[in-house]
Chains A and B, each alone.
Chain A
Amino acid sequence: MPIDRPTDLDAALASLSDVPSAHLLAGGTDAMVEITFDQRRPEHIVALRRIPELRGYRVDDDELTFGAMLTYTQVERELASTAPGLAMAARTVGSPQIRNTGTIGGNLGTASPAGDTLPWLLALDARVELRSVRGSRELSLADFVTGPKRTAREPDELITAVRVPRVEGPQHVAKLGPRNAMVISVAMAAVIVDTTNRRVRAAFGSVGPRPIRASDAEQQVSDAIDWDALTCPDDAIVHFADACAEASQPISDHRSTADYRRHAVAVLAARSLRRCLAA
């Protein structure tokens, strides 16, 4: 099995253009599981670790750009104050070993309904940057993730980065699972009280085929918040929680039940918003 190890972006795009069926290897934490379970037998691999353009992140006045190869450990350590919600999400991923090697680009590439960075990214209207020898394009995360583990990426495209607007205001990310660490989300909530745009942003993971944005709930509660005092009447928070639960589309499986997941969305939404307002 050939393995290409390009050392710059152009070489990687060229490889991918030559062999669009090639498997892109980032941290390999999803890939190795699939190979072990014989769900994937790559014929050709393009390894991404040596490509400097994919690494790191950029902090601009109005925008944050995360390179596809940014690891969870880097997010936790370096972005806790710039992107607090993303850092909280990163901390919930797997174990230290997984966080040292797993990447944001891989989380997007897999696009699992339980991908733990996706709710926060979705809540911030993230835009995914895709590049190929044919050029580059940007898709909203909502358009990028088309279904459970399905994306709009063309075979010859590489995810190079993901961008979010830089917003002020408190954020909270909460991940629910039946174990206190190293667990797949049964429900995941990202709530951002965006004081820049005076709106609450809320999205949820593991409660639908794709990460879910609770737009109606956001709208109602944003209207109810006193943005100068950053307070919200209790019944509006309860409504917000119920509307978030309403927006979720959970299923029952061996990990949990739909009823419990819907209930959890409400609890996590209310708690996360309260935590933001109390911060």
Chain B
Amino acid sequence: MSSASTTTRDRVRDGLGQDADRPDGTPKVTGGFAFSSDLHARGMLWGRTLRSPHPSARIVSIDTSAAEAMAGVTTVVTAADVPGKATYGLEHADQPVFASEVVRYQGEPIAAVAAEHPELAVRALEAIEVEYEVLDPVTDPEHAMAAAAPIHPDGNVVRHLPLRHGDVEATGEVVVEGTYEVGMQDQAFMGPESGLAIPADDGGVELYMSTQWLHVDRDQVAACLALPPDQVRMTLAGVGGAFGAREDVSLQVHVCLLALRTGRPVKMLYSREESFFGHVHRHPARMWFRHHADRDGQLVKVEARLVLDGGAYASTSSAVIANAVCFAGGPYRVPNAQIHGYAVRTNNPPCGAMRGFGVVQACYGHESQMDKLADALGMDPVELRLKNALKPGDTLLTGQVITGTAPVREVIEAAVAHPLPPEPSDDDPALALPGGAGLTAERGDVRRGVGFGVSIKNLMFSEGFDDYSTAGVLLELDGHGQAIATVHCASAEVGQGFVTLAQQITRERLGVDQVMLRPADTAIGSAGSSSASRQTWMSGGAVELACDAVREALFERAVARRDLALDDADHPLFDLRDGHVVEAGGSASIPLVDLLAEGPIERIEVHRHAPTDPLDEDGQGNAHVSFAFAAHRAVVDVDPDLGLIRVVQIATGQDVGRALNPRAVVGQIEGGIAQGVGLAVMEEIVIEDGKVRNPSFTDYLIPTALDMPEVLATVIEQPEPGAPFGAKGVGEPPTISSTPAVAAAVRAATGLALPRVPIHPEDIALTPARDG
């Protein structure tokens, strides 16, 4: 921005609303950034985890003696060595630190070793003898619900959430019904789980870890290790992406236990293969819907039964199913509804948080239904959506009235206003056809389709959760007598750009150029999770509050100065501009550096969002804080004979409240769409009898540059009341409705029903077309 800036806030260099550079951008691109996998401590040992090869088995015996006797193997730990609580979990502590009597999923940890060399650790694992009595795994959620003997003492239904809204007997003149499935998606973050634990002199432990929520990790580790929380000190290590997969504990307890047992630093680092077993995935879903509408296309009622497979342990399943149920109607006015949601325990891999968190599954269902309804009504699918689009003041299925912004019409109109890609032509590069580099098709083999999807996503934690963030800001003089601000917040930077935003907010509120960030750690209060699209609102808000408290302190110092003429010393009006505290309306001003010469100013503030309520027995209540909306239009080319798909373009309109860093917002939109496209056309963890068949990037496919469509994005800026700076979270919406949009486009191109994502080639190539 121009250096001639004078007084307006908007002109602060790299302040809010500008494309400020990421402080970690250059090091990440040039390879200088230290990820958690790069951690090293002098004399450290290497930890590894022994995992069950069986999805369901009774453990008859574990013999670690041979492993313990190996030279260079420092220690072997099992469930018997866990000093505190034997289990952990985000919502229900139902997951053992180590399985001791039964294993409930393939890959469940049984023991851990620490050795002088990673290879020795591998060999030590091989030397541990575990005798199993292998059992038949329960892998179908319907069977699990009906099973006489539960997989876990807490039962097989983690949560049944009914929702009844309006007149559940109401019927519409036009009724469409469908059953839809979503496969198990992996977050496929770049950097597998890793951490370094260092035993401390006070009997505690320091843990450097890539995670999404330091404090919730700390509390679980402390409980399992029987330590007071302040003796488990965590610092965020460089995070290579998260997308929900780092919300649950993975190796945290294991690595700390090994460090405390050996009295030496211990590092653990999962391989990619182990990572597939080391974190939760997106819940596979089976969903039945019945939509009722009147002849004009006005929605009358939505009925649904949603079954999510939570796998062996609860993780965040109860919150995930709540999202699926609450938003099963989509971003539409639905006066009546009856929905049953079930999160079910099976012997499949545990499922939990992933970008979109339950709404992804529901959205694929309701958007497929909206297309079916449009078809039945003979109505344009976009028109049907516009007709039913929510707006402020409307009521959700939960009975909650939308008091904030709800630009559903605007996001839809923005998505469809983008130009369509050029018509296919014989001059298109061969690589751009479905099949890409494989040269399997020519233009004539390919059909084009267009599809839509629209979504609603709740922002931040819901259902009465006490959701808050803490931030500290220190303003002082640096060695050159210049003002420098330092922000301290435990908000996990997982790639979303909180580090950039914290600097932008601080520059903006304090008018200083130099803003440093302290490492995120547990020396300050919790910032909550970097999930649920919440950190801009929650921790951004906390940083703003802390900045404002520092401003107040500055103004108090200004008041104390006698040379500033004051009309009303009790209620002075000041502003901070160009490194000066200035009196509002007056000409008097004091340089900031003069005020700071009196000493540094530090303030720590806690920020909470407006409280929410639990859902009642009918699934009704003001359970959510705020909502973000997105619309996607997908254009695909399909080779129906081979079933190959090339997503050509995705046009989107997204409700962002206010774009605090437009470039970062577009980055989230593009990345989110990549994951949405992946779920639509390729990403699936293949499970057979409870066993993962493709735990590697050789076989778990994510989109490459050739699979990624052109993205045309319009952000809709309607500042959200109550949100710091009017900004809504932007991370999740792009993932949610891009999947149904792509699926709809493939249906349009092929005429097939395609009730399941990801759509595999054989689903197209081997399914007879609906109408010949």
Q: Which residue from chain A places its CB closest to the CB of B678 in the assembled complex?
A: A179
Check B707 for interface membership: any CB of A closer than 8 A: yes
Judging by beta carbons under 8 Å apart, are A177 and B765 in contact? no
Judging by beta carbons under 8 Å apart, are A260 and B761 in contact? yes
Q: Which residue from chain B places its CB closest to the CB of A95 in the assembled complex?
A: B704
Judging by beta carbons under 8 Å apart, are B693 and A254 in contact? yes
| Inter-chain contacts of A259 with B (CB < 8 A) | 762, 766
Check A175 for interface membership: any CB of B closer than 8 A: yes
Main secondary structure of the interface of B (DSSP, over half): loop
Q: With A184-B698, A255-B699 in contact, is A176–B642 under 8 Å at CB?
A: yes
Check B516 for interface membership: any CB of A closer than 8 A: no
CB distance from A240 to the nearest CB of B (A): 16
Q: With A174-B440, A254-B694 in contact, is A180–B435 under 8 Å at CB?
A: yes
Judging by beta carbons under 8 Å apart, are A271 and B445 in contact? yes
Q: With A178-B682, A180-B706, A183-B701 in contact, is A256–B762 under 8 Å at CB?
A: yes
A259 to B681, CA, bound (A): 20
Check A97 for interface membership: any CB of B closer than 8 A: no
Check B711 for interface membership: any CB of A closer than 8 A: no
Check A196 for interface membership: any CB of B closer than 8 A: no
Check B686 for interface membership: any CB of A closer than 8 A: yes
Judging by beta carbons under 8 Å apart, are A181 and B706 in contact? yes
Q: With A38-B122, A255-B699 in contact, is A260–B439 under 8 Å at CB?
A: no
| Inter-chain contacts of B29 with A (CB < 8 A) | none
Check A91 for interface membership: any CB of B closer than 8 A: yes
A260 to B703, CA, bound (A): 22
Segment of A48-56, A121-129, A162-170, A261-269 engaged in the interface with chain B: A261-269
Q: With A260-B762, A260-B766 in contact, is A176–B437 under 8 Å at CB?
A: no
| Inter-chain contacts of A254 with B (CB < 8 A) | 686, 688, 693-694, 699
Check A275 for interface membership: any CB of B closer than 8 A: yes
Q: How large is the interface on A (under 10, 10 to 19, 20 to 34, 35 or more residues)?
A: 20 to 34
Q: Which residue from chain A places its CB closest to the CB of B681 in the assembled complex?
A: A178
Judging by beta carbons under 8 Å apart, are B441 and A271 in contact? yes
Number of B residues, CB within 8 Å of A: 38
Q: Which residue from chain A places its CB closest to the CB of B441 in the assembled complex?
A: A271
A176 to B761, CA, bound (A): 10
Check A172 for interface membership: any CB of B closer than 8 A: yes
Judging by beta carbons under 8 Å apart, are B761 and A178 in contact? yes
Judging by beta carbons under 8 Å apart, are B271 and A36 in contact? yes
B635-651 interface (Cβ within 8 A of A): 641-644, 646
Judging by beta carbons under 8 Å apart, are A260 and B693 in contact? no
Check A81 for interface membership: any CB of B closer than 8 A: no
Q: Which residue from chain B places its CB closest to the CB of A179 in the assembled complex?
A: B701
Check A47 for interface membership: any CB of B closer than 8 A: no
| Inter-chain contacts of B682 with A (CB < 8 A) | 178-179
| Inter-chain contacts of A275 with B (CB < 8 A) | 442
Check B434 for interface membership: any CB of A closer than 8 A: yes
A56 to B431, CA, bound (A): 28
B424-459 interface (Cβ within 8 A of A): 431, 434-442, 445
Check A88 for interface membership: any CB of B closer than 8 A: yes
CB distance from A275 to the nearest CB of B (A): 7
Check B58 for interface membership: any CB of A closer than 8 A: no
CB distance from B710 to the nearest CB of A (A): 14
Q: With A37-B273, A254-B686, A271-B442 in contact, is A180–B437 under 8 Å at CB?
A: yes
Q: Which residue from chain A places its CB closest to the CB of B696 in the assembled complex?
A: A37
Judging by beta carbons under 8 Å apart, are A180 and B704 in contact? yes
Check A3 for interface membership: any CB of B closer than 8 A: no
CB distance from B650 to the nearest CB of A (A): 15
Check A225 for interface membership: any CB of B closer than 8 A: no
CB distance from A259 to the nearest CB of B (A): 6
CB distance from B190 to the nearest CB of A (A): 16
A142 to B613, CA, bound (A): 71
Question: CB-defined interface of B397-437 with A at 8 Å, one 1/0 digit per residue?
Answer: 00000000000000000000000000000000001001111
- Contact among A36, A179, A267, A271 for B704, CB-based, below 8 A: A179
Judging by beta carbons under 8 Å apart, are B701 and A178 in contact? yes
Check A230 for interface membership: any CB of B closer than 8 A: no
Check B760 for interface membership: any CB of A closer than 8 A: yes
Question: CB-defined interface of B569-585 with A at 8 Å, one 1/0 digit per residue?
Answer: 00000000000000000
| Inter-chain contacts of A176 with B (CB < 8 A) | 435, 438, 440, 642, 644, 761
- Contact among A37, A177, A260 for B438, CB-based, below 8 A: A177
Q: Which residue from chain B places its CB closest to the CB of A270 in the assembled complex?
A: B641
Check A83 for interface membership: any CB of B closer than 8 A: no
Check A212 for interface membership: any CB of B closer than 8 A: no
| Inter-chain contacts of B438 with A (CB < 8 A) | 92, 174-177, 180, 183
Check A257 for interface membership: any CB of B closer than 8 A: yes
Check A68 for interface membership: any CB of B closer than 8 A: no
- Contact among B436, B762, B766 for A180, CB-based, below 8 A: B436
A173 to B439, CA, bound (A): 7
Judging by beta carbons under 8 Å apart, are B706 and A172 in contact? no
Judging by beta carbons under 8 Å apart, are A268 and B440 in contact? yes
CB distance from B680 to the nearest CB of A (A): 12
Check A182 for interface membership: any CB of B closer than 8 A: yes
Judging by beta carbons under 8 Å apart, are A256 and B761 in contact? yes
B676-715 interface (Cβ within 8 A of A): 681-682, 686, 688, 693-694, 698-699, 701, 703-707
Judging by beta carbons under 8 Å apart, are B439 and A174 in contact? yes
CB distance from B552 to the nearest CB of A (A): 55
| Inter-chain contacts of A33 with B (CB < 8 A) | 698
Q: Which residue from chain B places its CB closest to the CB of A172 in the assembled complex?
A: B439
Q: With A179-B701, A181-B707 in contact, is A257–B762 under 8 Å at CB?
A: yes
| Inter-chain contacts of A172 with B (CB < 8 A) | 439
Question: CB-defined interface of A38-82 with B at 8 Å, one 1/0 digit per residue?
Answer: 100000000000000000000000000000000000000000000
| Inter-chain contacts of B122 with A (CB < 8 A) | 38
| Inter-chain contacts of B762 with A (CB < 8 A) | 256-257, 259-260
Question: CB-defined interface of B621-655 with A at 8 Å, one 1/0 digit per residue?
Answer: 00000000000000000000111101000000000
Judging by beta carbons under 8 Å apart, are B642 and A264 in contact? yes
Q: With A91-B437, A92-B437 in contact, is A179–B698 under 8 Å at CB?
A: no
CB distance from B104 to the nearest CB of A (A): 22
| Inter-chain contacts of A184 with B (CB < 8 A) | 698-699
CB distance from B57 to the nearest CB of A (A): 22
A172 to B439, CA, bound (A): 9
| Inter-chain contacts of B445 with A (CB < 8 A) | 271
| Inter-chain contacts of B704 with A (CB < 8 A) | 179-182
Q: Which residue from chain B places its CB closest to the CB of A254 in the assembled complex?
A: B693
- Contact among A36, A181, A255 for B437, CB-based, below 8 A: A181
- Contact among A37, A91, A267 for B642, CB-based, below 8 A: A267
CB distance from A171 to the nearest CB of B (A): 11
CB distance from A235 to the nearest CB of B (A): 18
Q: Which residues of B contact A (CB under 8 A)?
A: 122, 271, 273, 431, 434-442, 445, 641-644, 646, 681-682, 686, 688, 693-694, 698-699, 701, 703-707, 760-762, 765-766
Closest 6 CB pairs of A and B: A180-B436, A254-B693, A175-B438, A260-B762, A180-B706, A181-B706
18 extra interface residue pairs, beta carbon distance < 8 Å, beyond A180-B707, A182-B704: A38-B122, A92-B438, A174-B440, A175-B438, A175-B440, A176-B642, A176-B644, A178-B701, A179-B682, A180-B431, A180-B434, A180-B437, A181-B707, A259-B762, A260-B766, A263-B766, A264-B642, A264-B765
Some 8 contacts from A to B, beta carbons below 8 A apart, are A88-B439, A91-B437, A174-B440, A179-B682, A181-B704, A260-B643, A264-B761, A271-B442
